[in-house]
Amino acid sequence: MIKIVSKNVIKDGQKDTFIQLTKELIEKSRQEAGCISYHLLQDINNCSVLTFIEEWQDQKAIEIHNNSEHFKRIIPLLADLRIGKSELNLYKEI
Amino acid sequence: MIKIVSKNVIKDGQKDTFIQLTKELIEKSRQEAGCISYHLLQDINNCSVLTFIEEWQDQKAIEIHNNSEHFKRIIPLLADLRIGKSELNLYKEI
């Protein structure tokens, strides 16, 4: 199992658009065979911070996800709405 | 439900000690009434990054956890083994 944490700081005034765009991404990602869970969360202390926390079966499932039509179409749209790059970590259990 | 992501960069040569110290913390935290899940994960691309991902029922459960004997005893020991502060985010579902 691989867990992904992808933290985004959203530009002023773009949060609702960001969330709206993620709805299809979340729905379609959850339907992928290798997806265990896929959530978008908001920081309690900073509402500009929106973070995906995802669980995938293995590296192969992530590769398929990264090459999916919905990922390749929606992720660049989200990138325009955030400040800088997302902070991305891939984790394994110890 | 509140999700906590606490990211730590561990000092050279201290990772095994850090992991050993977390064992009791993880075991006792999981036994707390308000704890839904509690995991320590290692970054796949940087083995010095160890991150707690935790789920708690509510803010009150986190307050009880932060005041528990095991938290107050073990967390300062872990702090000595990491570089700088942990990167701590508390999240709610959108």
- The separation between the first and the last C-alpha atoms of chain A, rounded to the nearest angstrom, is 11
Kindly state whether B20 is in contact with chain A, defined as any CB-CB distance less than 8 angstroms.
no
Kindly state whether A94 is in contact with chain B, defined as any CB-CB distance less than 8 angstroms.
yes
Low-confidence ranges of chain A (pLDDT < 70): none
Quote ipTM for the complex: 0.95
- Look at the block and give the residue holding tokens 């299809």: A24
* Encoded amino acid at B65, one letter: H
User: Which distant-in-sequence residues (6+ apart) come within 8 Å of B91 by Cβ?
Assistant: A41, A42, A43, A44, A51, A53, B2, B3, B4, B5
**B-proximal residues of A, 21-80, CB under 8 Å:** 39-45, 49-51, 53
Q: According to DSSP H, which parts of chain A are helical?
A: 15-30, 59-66, 69-79
The verdict on a CB contact (< 8 Å) between A91 and B2 is no
- Domains of chain B in start order, with CATH, are 2-92 (3.30.70.100)
- Rounded Cα gap, residues A94 and A85, in angstroms: 27
Kindly state whether A90 is in contact with chain B, defined as any CB-CB distance less than 8 angstroms.
yes
User: Which of A43, A50, A91 is facing B42, going by the closest CB pair?
Assistant: A91
**pLDDT tens readout for residues B48-82:** 999 999 999 999 999 999 999 999 999 999 999 99
pLDDT of residue B35: 98
**pLDDT tens readout for residues B3-44:** 999 999 999 999 999 999 999 999 999 999 999 999 999 999
User: Which distant-in-sequence residues (6+ apart) come within 8 Å of A66 by Cβ?
Assistant: A72
Read off the tokens for B51: 């991150």
- The separation between the first and the last C-alpha atoms of chain B, rounded to the nearest angstrom, is 11
The verdict on a CB contact (< 8 Å) between B94 and A2 is no
**pLDDT tens readout for residues B30-40:** 999 999 999 99
* Encoded amino acid at A44, one letter: I
Strands (DSSP E) along B1-94, which ranges? 2-9, 35-43, 49-56, 87-93
